[in-house]
Amino acid sequence: MKRLVPLVIAAFLASSISPAIATNQKIQKRRYKEQVRINRGVNKGQLTGKERTRLQNQQNLIGVERAQAMADGKMTKRERSDIRHDQNRLSKDIRHKKHNKRRVYQ
């Protein structure tokens, strides 16, 4: 019984902390994937320099927003929702800019 109580407490603490860590990792992973998409568009000539700059600025703003959300050590549901919304918007912008008529011919 004496061994069971600390084990239960440790399991409870681990389960309460891990969602915040997992959320932050998901945001970082998605940021990496979006950067890969931007770089691929530049390499294929689908994105102009101006489009690339705007998309990267948008991505940097999401990074600032994430840092502000984590400043107090905990990301609230509302903050997560706002960041996810901004990431969805960025993803759509990447797709639209990669498939518009503007091209960089090399």
pLDDT tens for residues 82-103? 999 999 999 999 999 999 888 8
Q: What is the mean pLDDT of residues 63-79?
A: 91
Q: For the packed helices 4-44 and 49-69, what is the interaxial angle rounded to 10 degrees?
A: 170
Q: Tell me: the pLDDT tens digits for 3-50?
A: 666 666 666 655 555 556 677 788 889 999 999 999 999 999 999 999
Sign of CA dihedral 14, 18, 20, 25: positive
Tokens for 22, please give them.
């997992």
